[in-house]
Amino acid sequence: MDDTENWPEIEKAATEKRRELVLQGAAVDGRISANGGLTSSIYSLLLLNYLEVSQCPSLTEIHEDIQHLTNLQSLILCRNKLRAVPKVIGSLKSLKVLDLSVNDLKSLPVEITQLRELNTLNVSCNSLEALPDGLSQCTKLSTINVSKNRLTSFPADLYSEQLDLLSTLVSSDNLIEQLSGEIHKLSALKVLDVSNNKLTEIPPHLSNCPKLKEINFKGNKLSDKRLEKMVNGCQTKSILDYLRGKGRGRPGEDGGDADGGGRNADRKKKQQRKKKGKEAEEQDEVEELNKMVVRVLHVSDAPTALTVKVSAEVKDVRPYLVCCTVTGMNLKAGNALKRFLMAQTKLHDDLCGKRTIATIATHDAKLLKGPLIYDVKPPTRLKILPLGRREMTAVELIRSLHLEAEELRKQKKRQNVTGLHKYLQLLEGKSHYPCLVDAEGDVISFPPITNSEKTKIKKTTTELFLEVTSATNLQTCKDVMDALIAKMAELNKFTAEHQEEAGSGGEGDSAPPEPAASETSGQLVVQQVRTVDQDGNLKVVYPSKTDLSKDMDNLTVVWS
């Protein structure tokens, strides 16, 4: 029997005529399993324009009644176990965002091509062997992510002038063997990622994409070994210049008359000189990239090293955690701190799914009192001094944030809830909340909500303690931490290159101390942090030898 009373979220959405509904996590998964699928009452919420059902392994199919939700603009069905998508998906004519990532899909219905308002299509991390023909009919497509599937090629009509808004195409970790020269027809293309495929050639016509800013061809065995070397070490501009040169160098293009031999010889000499200069420039770029070093120190056994003890109770709330400390990050110069905080926010919005997938916390390590304990507390007993607020309990803080989010929604005259609402919902129905507690008993982190003012980083911070938590899996935490450290290396390089901006330590700062060698060189030093169980047994250490190992243009890892 399909019992709506077991779905209070749906009942509330119907009563309050809500436009947005989010169902995710273990509690929802349990109800889906017991019910044999999603309750049919969800398909009567005809006002919905945002529907998310995620992180539910028991969800293997979506009923055809979804065709009734014709006002849907965003349909998020990620991290489930969907085996198929119903053909009636084509009836959702208002759909702008479709996220089917991390499921068990082997094919997509051709009816997806009827979604003429579609802006974003994410079908990454499935088992797709082909994309449906006709995607060029979705003329408003801006982003396509098909990474981590089994694709061997793109449909011919994907290279279409009709897709003149397509700016991002991500197809890494597939089996793609060829990229058509017709790709230059994608006039708005800015980001192209076809790393870790089966490509042997990169079409010279790619250089005719007028807006292309970022390309990734790493992990392909290219027949042009010089180009392969550039792909593994150089920036986009150098690769496009090289491809442009290859396109111009085809036999017969120069033409010429009987006395043109001398001019051609002169031209060849100039081209050779220019070629040598360009090779030197490319080598300089590689060397410059290699200066952005992350040095990893094994200090987890040192008596002064921070350790984090993890309580058994967190496994039912937010079980995954990785930590490390970083020195050498220059936050004193100009806007360096502001840029770092903005980069963290962007990671939260993108890679962390507005904190619903993972959450980053950064602390001034010198203000921490170890050892640390990752624990849970009842909401009424969890007290924290949140960033920019007075000390309060978790109950008070959550209530305050809900009111602020609702007020923001009303001010913007939106029917949808805010991004803030989305990560607040992660704690709904929990009897205990996760927290990181220092040796003095103070809560310094309350994920995914906030850090403590006690350990807030400032311009004068010289050592950072980084923390990433997730309810998804441990690898997600590591991937986010990898990305954060890579971004820190990039920002440090930028700061070092703009010394004119770095002249002042900022208002109110005392005279700067003598900088450490790592700071003056722009080198980050990452110190390992161990997380252990209640008996002291090792759970995880970050970074291990397998972390920070992905190909990243902006850092080189040196183990000590």
Sequential pLDDT tens for the chain (560 residues): 345 668 888 988 888 888 888 888 888 899 999 988 899 999 999 999 889 898 899 999 999 999 999 999 999 999 899 999 999 999 999 999 999 999 999 999 999 999 999 999 999 999 999 999 999 999 999 999 999 999 999 999 999 999 999 999 999 999 999 999 999 999 999 889 999 999 999 999 999 998 888 898 999 999 998 888 888 876 678 888 888 887 654 333 333 333 444 445 555 555 665 555 555 554 544 444 444 577 777 655 555 567 899 999 998 889 999 999 999 899 988 889 999 999 999 998 888 888 888 999 999 999 998 889 999 999 999 999 988 888 999 999 988 888 887 777 677 655 554 455 567 777 877 889 999 999 999 999 999 999 999 999 999 999 999 999 998 888 889 889 999 998 998 888 888 877 544 444 433 344 344 344 344 456 788 888 989 888 888 888 888 877 876 555 556 677 65
Omega of the bond leading into 543 within 30 degrees of 0 (cis) = yes
The fourth-level CATH superfamily of domain 293-505+514-559 is Phenylalanyl-trna Synthetase, Chain B, domain 3 (3.50.40.10)
What's the Cα-to-Cα distance from 2 to each of 37, 131, 259, rounded to whole Å?
Answer: 10, 35, 88
Same fold? 1-127, 150-248: yes
DSSP structure class, residue 121: E
Residues 540 and 321: their CA atoms lie apart, in Å, by: 9
The amino acid at residue 210 is P
Q: Which residue has the tokens 């704690």?
A: 427
105: its two tokens? 């899909």
d(CA 69, CA 88) in angstroms, rounded, equals: 11
Q: Domain spanning 1-127: which superfamily?
A: Ribonuclease Inhibitor (3.80.10.10)
* Single-letter residue type at 444: I
Fold of 150-248: 3.80.10
Tokens of 5: 């009373």
d(CA 422, CA 317): 17
Confidence at residue 57, expressed as pLDDT on a 0 to 100 scale: 92
Domain coordinates of the chain in residue numbers? 1-127, 150-248, 293-505+514-559
Bridge partners of 20, per DSSP, are 50
